[in-house]
A and B are shown apart, each in its own frame.
Chain A
Amino acid sequence: MSSVVQIEGLVKRYDGREVVRGIDLSVPAGCCFGVLGPNGAGKTTTLRVLLGQSPVNGGEIRVFGLPIPQSGRAVRARTGVVPQADNLDPDFTVAENLRVYGRYFGIPFATLETRLRELLEFVGLTERADARIATLSGGMKRRLIFARALINDPELVVLDEPTTGLDPQVRHMIWGRLRDLRQSGKTLLLTTHYMEEAERLCDELVILDQGRILEQGTPAALIKKHAEPEVIEVRGEERLARQALVSSGDGRFEAIGDTCYYYTRDARAVVKRLEGMSGLAFLHRPANLEDVFLKLTGRELRD
């Protein structure tokens, strides 16, 4: 399978501070590829670079086999972008936003009008076509931005935290639409710090921290590699929880916030023990991507 995005040795500095420190990345065609990382890991910077919107301090970038930033125009013509923040045009209505944006791509009038109607349908905004942007809810704005990113029928769609701050209904709708797009053969590249989102959507992902790639693989493979299969979460007094968990076997114990985690290959004995105790609420579940993420990126807070 050929690579849609190919990044080698990317280095990016802001005021002498290195925010991306030698990233290699390859996104196969037709894949949904996730870039995970805490805030400030370099996710957004990486996306800006591959759209030719940010000069680099080192490395080679190719998108559709074209060099960046030299071929930025050609690459952006074939790419759709969902930015992190709302940048809809407040001077226009819903339909006008799509129409005006479509003109930047030089899309012929008839094609544009057809696509505009299809996309409003696709994101469920047909009824609101003539509404002003200020009257839309946060979820509607997000859906419109999503539709706008598709106005040029892109081969690659780049999404920077597409569901941050959305209610579950909109989030699920967008997840469904992303799966539709992947079905239709488009390549998706998304950043997120929602592990559930990454686990549901991504065929492959990288975990980024402090400008470096810590790990790469399919969600299942990463979970298998880095986390024990069973997890017990205990909420309550840490001292009590620690006592109950650590003395139960050879599993791995961690405390983050008000929750204690116990990772193990076989949780039966611990579960039995905890069931006999009062005052501790616990949850027994399979390991997920969040466990991997916290293990790899540590537990201290990021800004």
Chain B
Amino acid sequence: MAILYLPRFQGAALAVWRRNTLVWRKLAGPSIFINFGEPFLYLLGLGYGLGLFIGEMMNMPYLTFLASGILASSSMNTASFEAMFSVFTRMIPQKTYEAILTTPLEVQDILAGEMLWCATKCIISGSAILIVAALLGAVHDWHALWVPLVLFLVGLCFSGMGLVMTALAPGYDFFNYYVTLVLTPMFILSGVFYPVTSLPVALQSLVQLLPLSHAVDLIRPLVAGLPLSNVAGHIAVLAGYGLAGYLIAVHLTRRRLLV
């Protein structure tokens, strides 16, 4: 059995993306309110509050340090939760995919469309955070305008991984394992709140294997106006996780739905 299912990106996957966009537009008001409200709370509460004691971290105000970390981690959460809870709803209880699979689309198109949508959502919520951060004076460089593009990649990465969990999930409770064992440790260890270099060396190399730290390493210099390093490496890790997740998810989801 062939492992590689390449989607027909032009029409098919975009139809799924458009479906989700249409649903989102119906609830856009509350959704955007949360997109702006949450980072305000985080950046004001933690950034100013903690920043008062911390002052600078790695040659930048703590608010800038934290804002760039939150940009990465919130995209991780946005993409992961959309790819798990929302996709599971469409796949199993709501039978949306069952209906779509009677059209020319195949599983690989549906999942490609879902990943594009998750990544789009990351751009939407990430841009809100970026605007809030800029209003609070945490953004130091026009290069920050590249951040949404990075968040798109971060979205593809984590939605690909989340889709694997969804393909395996017997029910919603299953996602708790992934959140507790993978997402939360990554959130705490990947340099969102403090530099990875303050961790024990062994832990540092482990963190380097996980995608979130690479997202942080791309975003932080763009926001702080510092030079980027190892850009290709960071992009490769994020893209690699996303692509591997996609291919595994397509394989597992086909096995689950095409019986």
A100: interface (CB < 8 Å) = yes
> Which of A75-83, A118-126, A222-230, A246-254 lies at the binding interface?
A75-83
B143: interface (CB < 8 Å) = no
Give residues of chain B (80-120) contacting chain A, Cβ–Cβ below 8 Å.
94-96, 98-106
> Which of A102-110, A174-182, A289-297 lies at the binding interface?
A102-110
A14, B259: Cα distance in complex, Å: 8
The answer to whether A104 and B15 touch (CB under 8 A), given A73-B104, A92-B22, is yes
A51: interface (CB < 8 Å) = yes
B41: interface (CB < 8 Å) = no
Q: Mark B231-259, 1 if CB is under 8 A from A, else 0.
A: 00000000000000000000000000011
Question: Would B94 and A103 count as touching, CB distance under 8 A?
Answer: no
A88, B26: Cα distance in complex, Å: 17
Q: Mark A186-212, 1 if CB is under 8 A from B, else 0.
A: 000000000000000000000000000
Q: Chain A residue with minimal CB distance to B1?
A: A55
Give residues of chain B (1-48) contacting chain A, Cβ–Cβ below 8 Å.
11-12, 15-16, 18-19, 22-23, 26
Chain B proximity of A54: nearest CB distance (Å): 6
- From A54, A92, A104, contact of B258 by CB (8 A): A54
A173: interface (CB < 8 Å) = no
- From A76, A87, A90, contact of B98 by CB (8 A): A87
Chain B proximity of A232: nearest CB distance (Å): 45
A300, B190: Cα distance in complex, Å: 64
A72: interface (CB < 8 Å) = yes
The answer to whether A101 and B258 touch (CB under 8 A), given A92-B22, A106-B15, is no
The answer to whether A54 and B102 touch (CB under 8 A), given A89-B96, A106-B15, is no
Q: Chain A residue with minimal CB distance to B105?
A: A104
Contact partners of A79 in chain B: CB under 8 A:
102
Contact partners of A106 in chain B: CB under 8 A:
11-12, 15, 104
Contact partners of B105 in chain A: CB under 8 A:
73, 104
Chain B proximity of A150: nearest CB distance (Å): 13
Question: Would B95 and A87 count as touching, CB distance under 8 A?
Answer: yes
Interface range, B side: 20 to 34
Chain B proximity of A276: nearest CB distance (Å): 58
A211, B35: Cα distance in complex, Å: 54
Q: Chain B residue with minimal CB distance to A103?
A: B15
A77, B26: Cα distance in complex, Å: 29
A90, B101: Cα distance in complex, Å: 17
Chain B proximity of A81: nearest CB distance (Å): 4
A96: interface (CB < 8 Å) = yes
Give residues of chain A (59-82) contacting chain B, Cβ–Cβ below 8 Å.
72-74, 76-77, 79, 81
Q: Mark A141-168, 1 if CB is under 8 A from B, else 0.
A: 0000000100010000000000000000
Chain A proximity of B251: nearest CB distance (Å): 13
The answer to whether A53 and B101 touch (CB under 8 A), given A14-B259, A72-B106, A100-B22, is yes
Contact partners of B100 in chain A: CB under 8 A:
104
Q: Chain A residue with minimal CB distance to B16?
A: A104
A85: interface (CB < 8 Å) = yes
Q: List 16 A-B contacts (CB under 8 A).
A: A51-B102, A73-B106, A77-B104, A81-B102, A83-B99, A87-B94, A90-B94, A91-B26, A92-B22, A96-B22, A100-B15, A100-B19, A104-B16, A104-B103, A104-B104, A105-B103
Interface residues of A (CB under 8 A from B): 14, 51, 53-55, 72-74, 76-77, 79, 81, 83, 85, 87-92, 96, 100-101, 103-106, 148, 152
- Which 7 pairs, one residue from A and one from B, show the smallest C-beta to C-beta distance? A104-B103, A87-B95, A81-B102, A87-B99, A73-B104, A103-B15, A91-B23
Apart from A53-B258, A54-B259: 18 A-B pairs, beta carbons within 8 A: A54-B258, A74-B104, A76-B103, A76-B104, A77-B103, A83-B98, A87-B95, A87-B96, A87-B98, A87-B99, A89-B19, A92-B23, A100-B15, A101-B99, A103-B15, A103-B18, A104-B105, A105-B103
Interface residues of B (CB under 8 A from A): 11-12, 15-16, 18-19, 22-23, 26, 94-96, 98-106, 258-259
